[in-house]
């Protein structure tokens, strides 16, 4: 399969990024620092018993920020960079289809992101198991697996955005714009949608659909999915997705898993559609 060759070469090229390793070193130190802080300072565990499950949700709070920023750093040039330099024509002159290139880029860059992510979280959880020694190790394994899937999703989003344009400047603008609008400003966007839907007035209670809107950011969907995968642990450490007060069948943490799967499929599909028709 030619996408495998693309993925191997892309991994080899992308792993040499100095900014990637600078971010990785910072995240490793941060993960270790937070593990130590969680195990030593009671206020960080929110008044609950210090356990591995609690550490999982504590570390999960920083994963969204690291994965999103690092994905932009290592992925915005994935397709746009090849087109800007003209190397896309050379790449496609080999026995690679445009789908092979796109899939290979996603797989290769996910592998690049997975290395520091698993090292940082693996070290943090290992030290936590030694120091805390309370809770199921299975929680840590599920956490790492779900986090790897989250990394795959974010890489797919940024590579999909990169496939829409022919310059790295535009690709960077799309990636950064997506991050700020969807991750930082989404609460405001959701409020505006609610305000408009209610006839330009404030409702006395939020409608059921509002919960789904609040889960649109990938990091929110990631956390909700973690709650769905580890319900007993989430209840023990008071982790909540804010679903209380909504009666609809979809107002459950599992909606995060569905939304994250959509983020995996939709952006990369749109990116492929545009890239497959682009004049290189």
In tens, the pLDDT along 61-88 reads 888 888 999 999 889 999 998 888 877 7
Q: Is 48 exposed, middle or buried (0-12, 13-18, 19+ CB in 10 A)?
A: middle
Listed as own residue / partner, the contacts of 149-153 with beta carbons closer than 8 Å and 24 or more positions apart are 149/260, 150/63, 150/64, 150/67, 150/218, 150/222, 150/260, 151/67, 151/71, 151/110, 151/113, 151/114, 151/117, 152/106, 152/110, 152/264, 153/218, 153/260, 153/263, 153/264
Q: Would you state the pLDDT for residue 160?
A: 96
Looking at every residue in the chain, the average pLDDT score rounds to 86
Q: Would you state the pLDDT for residue 125?
A: 87
Which value, to the nearest 10 degrees, does the dihedral of the CA atoms of residues 265, 267, 270, 275 take? -110
- Rounded CA-CA distance 196/38 in Å is 42
Tens of pLDDT, residues 134-174: 567 888 889 999 999 999 999 999 999 999 998 999 999 99
Domains of the chain, by residue range, sit at 2-184+215-277
- Which residues of the chain fall below pLDDT 70? 1, 41-49, 134-135, 280
Which of 136, 89, 130 is closest to 280 using CA atoms?
Answer: 89
Q: Would you state the pLDDT for residue 47?
A: 54
């Amino acid at each position: 399969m030619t996408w495998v060759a693309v993925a191997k070469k892309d991994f080899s090229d992308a792993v040499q990024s100095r900014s990637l390793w600078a971010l990785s070193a910072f995240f490793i130190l941060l993960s270790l620092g937070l593990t130590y802080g969680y195990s030593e300072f009671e206020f960080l565990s929110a008044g609950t018993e210090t356990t591995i499950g609690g550490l999982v949700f504590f570390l999960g709070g920083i994963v969204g920020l690291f994965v999103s920023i690092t994905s932009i750093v290592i992925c915005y040039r994935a397709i746009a960079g090849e087109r800007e330099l003209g190397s896309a024509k050379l790449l496609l002159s080999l026995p690679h289809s445009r789908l092979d290139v796109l899939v290979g880029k996603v797989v290769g860059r996910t592998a690049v992101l997975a290395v520091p992510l698993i090292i940082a979280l693996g070290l943090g959880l290992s030290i936590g198991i030694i120091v805390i020694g309370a809770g199921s190790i299975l929680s840590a394994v599920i956490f790492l697996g779900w986090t790897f899937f989250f990394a795959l999703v974010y890489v797919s989003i940024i590579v999909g955005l990169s496939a829409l344009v022919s310059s790295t400047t535009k690709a960077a603008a799309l990636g950064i714009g997506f991050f700020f609008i969807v991750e930082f400003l989404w609460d405001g966007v959701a409020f505006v949608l609610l305000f408009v839907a209610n006839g330009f007035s404030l409702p006395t209670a939020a409608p059921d659909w509002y919960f789904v809107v609040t889960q649109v950011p990938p990091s929110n969907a990631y956390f909700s999915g973690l709650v769905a995968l580890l319900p007993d642990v989430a209840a023990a450490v008071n982790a909540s997705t804010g679903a209380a007060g909504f009666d609809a069948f979809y107002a459950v943490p599992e909606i995060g898993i569905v939304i994250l799967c959509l983020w995996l499929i939709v952006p990369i599909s749109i990116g492929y559609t545009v890239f497959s028709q682009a004049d290189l």
